[in-house]
Each structure stands twice: as C-alpha cells, then as structure tokens.
Amino acid sequence: MDEKKQRVFDCCIFACLVIFVVVVPEAEGRAFFVFGDSLVDNGNNNYLLTTARADSYPYGIDYPTHRATGRFSNGLNIPDIISERIGSEPTLPYLSPELNGERLLVGANFASAGIGILNDTGIQFINIIRISRQLQYFEQYQQRVSALIGVEQTQRLINQALVLITLGGNDFVNNYYLVPFSARSRQFALPDYVVYLISEYRKILVRLYELGARRVLVTGTGPLGCVPAELAQHSRNGECAADLQRASDLFNPQLVQLVNQLNSQIGSNIFISANAFQSNMDFISNPQAYGFVTSKVACCGQGPYNGIGLCTPASNLCPNRDLYAFWDPFHPSERANRLIVETFMIGDTKYMNPMNLSTIMHLDSTT
C-alpha cells in the first residue's frame, strides 16, 4: 500500500474508533426513573382531571418548544437536567401515549404534582397520582418492559438504573399548614408529625428497593418558608416563614438518618440523600452571588412577591427568567434548577451523603 493510501486507511480506522468511543456510552446509557411531586413532574398531570396542572402559557416559555409541557418551570426541571448531565434522553411521563416500544428503555417519570408521602396530602387537587399508585405504575412498567426484552434483562435494567424521589414538601404546605387547625395539625404536634412522615417514607423507600431500585437519590425538602407563596402570606419584611422553616429543619435531618439506617441494614449505599435545603438556601440567602436580582419575588405571579395564586397568562411576567431564583410562587426557575443539580453532581458531604452523583456514575461505570 502506498503512503497516501496508508494515510487514508489510518484516518478511516481512527474515525471509526472515535465514532465507536462516542456512540457506545450513549447506547448503553442507564435508565432513569422519577417519583414525586411538582418539583419533578414532567407532564403526568396533563392527562388527569386536576387543578394541579402546568399545561398553559406562560409555563414552558423557555422550554425548547416554547410551549407548556406540564413541567412547573419556565423551561427544564430537575429530572431534565439530571438526564442531560448523565447523558440520557429526557424521560417521558408514564401516562404519555408516546411512552412505548424502545422509548420505555430510557426509563419513565411517574411524578405527579400535589402529592406527598401521605395519601391525604393534596386532596384538594382531587385526581393526582399518589405515591402508592406511582409505585404500582412502576410494577406495571416492569411488566411492559419484560414483554419487550424479557424478565432477566428487565431486572438488570432496573437494578442499573438511577432513581430520583422527591417527596415531603406538600405534606407540610398542602396538608399540615394548608389551613389553620388542619386535621393533621390537630392530630399531631409538629415534631410528632415529622416522626410519622419519616415512618411512612421508610415504607416507600423499602418498597422501591423491593421493586429492584439500587441507586436512589432521595431529596429532602427545600426551605419551605422562603418560597414567594409563603412570603406573601406570612412575611412582613421578606423574612422566611418560621413555622415552615422549622418543619424543614425537623424533617431533613431525620430523612438523612433514615437513609443511613436503610443503607446500614441493607449493607450497601442504595440510597443517597441530597440536601435540597442547602442547595436552595445558597442562592436564596445570597442571590446576587449567583447572578439573580431576587430570590424573594417570583418571576410569574401577582400580589406581594408575586406569590399569590397561580401563574397564568394574566399574571405579572418578568422579561428575563434567568435573573429570578423562583419561576412561580412555589417552584425554582430553570436556572435555579441547574444550580441545584450542580450540587447533586459535584457537591461535597454538606450536600450529598454518602457521595455525589458524579462519584456514583464513576463507581457504577467501573463495576
């Protein structure tokens, strides 16, 4: 072979090798499953008769299609950004008719806005997918995938998947503190209510493990008293609502304790606790350091702090969503979600226990 042909041949071999290296990891990307509430719902509630919906303008204004998708965000939400960071396609809502065939192998999002740890949380939203039903759908999903690739391969797909679960905030905001003298607040003092929530959450996490989940990211609640909706109702000078902050302060450490106990009993780091409270407080307490003009006023809303009612076409709407930590009265903007996911990916033990998501990805790629 002459020198010119040899160079062409070498280039072709090199190109093939490069293509092989780039394509294979994508083809073998791990599945991703999402459970929880409106912080992680990406459209299941669009298919339900419920008031807990984000399917109209201006939701989705910064989404690639510039249309509302059911995500409670101006653009991407936390699961979207995690999918982006781990090199997977975004998961579809489990109720989406598009979730079939090979698309099932990417995973699924079972989350539903308004739900909590308890079945009586969010009853005002009527028709939502409570966590027990989300877990039933996960079983149904596995049956559907087994018909596609067989039981053994399905078990491997589930065992190797990443799972995200986000619960707890609504059990305070849309239950215990929903109205003065709520049924749960008359039944429990706050510390006892938190103990009860943790005992119920334990059953949910154990069930996830029984269903094959082996890498589960468990997020604590954010600073519930600092969202614009709570500032609008309870704050005189922009300070966070004390009762809801106390609820977060009680709940989150006990959730970390639960995660550690479960891992110890199983003998493996199945569950990873993510300190969403701290991830949010970083930019809430010092918004300018993170490029925000405010962490008190929502981009979309009305009334004090744009924190009253829902985000609708009639609401005030900020021109630049990247400058606002909160998109609507309860939910972070896409840019804030990116900061939160960054702490999940590379945060130290202040944020992630016992390890961050980058470490998990590295460990799992070598075993």
CATH of segment(s) 32-276: 3.40.50
CA dihedral 293, 294, 299, 304 (to 10 degrees): -140
Q: Mean pLDDT over all residues of the chain?
A: 93
Residue type, 94: Y
Q: Give percent of the chain with pLDDT exceeding 90.
A: 91
Q: Measured over all CA atoms, what is the biggest interatomic distance in the chain, rounded to whole angstroms?
A: 89
Do 134 and 35 form a contact (C-beta atoms < 8 A)? yes
Tokens for 116, please give them: 């909590």
Among the listed ranges 25-39, 109-123, 271-285, 308-322, which one has the minimum average pLDDT value? 25-39
* Mean pLDDT in residue range 268-296: 98
Do 88 and 32 form a contact (C-beta atoms < 8 A)? yes
Do 120 and 175 form a contact (C-beta atoms < 8 A)? yes
Residue type, 212: G
| Pairing between β-strand 32-36 and β-strand 162-166 as defined by DSSP bridges | parallel
Tokens for 236, please give them: 């005189």
Choose the catalytic residue: 38, 83, 96, 112. 38
Tokens for 21, please give them: 């290296």
Choose the catalytic residue: 37, 273, 328, 333. 328
What residues does each domain of the chain span?
Answer: 32-276
Rounded to whole angstroms, the Cα distance separating 160 from 214 reads 7
Choose the catalytic residue: 80, 112, 331, 333. 331
Is the CA virtual torsion 109, 357, 114, 132 positive or negative?
positive
Q: Is 362 a catalytic residue?
A: no
| Nearest-10 crossing angle of helices 334-346, 357-365 | 50
Rounded to whole angstroms, the Cα distance separating 352 from 256 reads 10
- Summarize pLDDT for 284-316 with one digit per residue, the tens: 999 999 999 999 999 999 999 999 999 999 999
Rounded to whole angstroms, the Cα distance separating 106 from 53 reads 24
Q: Is 328 a catalytic residue?
A: yes
Do 269 and 262 form a contact (C-beta atoms < 8 A)? no
In DSSP terms, 326 is beta-bridged to 332
| Helix residue spans in the chain (DSSP H) | 3-27, 78-86, 131-149, 151-160, 169-171, 183-187, 190-210, 228-234, 242-266, 276-285, 334-346, 357-365
Half-sphere exposure of 3 (CA within 13 A, CB side): 0
Q: Is 285 a catalytic residue?
A: no
* Mean pLDDT in residue range 145-171: 98
The reported pLDDT for the residue numbered 366 is 85
* Mean pLDDT in residue range 315-321: 98
For the entire predicted model, the pTM comes to: 0.91
Tokens for 140, please give them: 């149904």
The reported pLDDT for the residue numbered 350 is 97
Query: What are the two backbone dihedrals, phi and then psi, of residue 202, each rounded to the nearest 5 degrees?
Result: -55, -45
Which residues neighbour 297 within 8 Å (Cβ) at sequence distance 6 or greater? 228, 305, 306, 307, 324, 326
Confidence of residue 25 (pLDDT cuts 50, 70, 90): very low
Do 87 and 32 form a contact (C-beta atoms < 8 A)? no
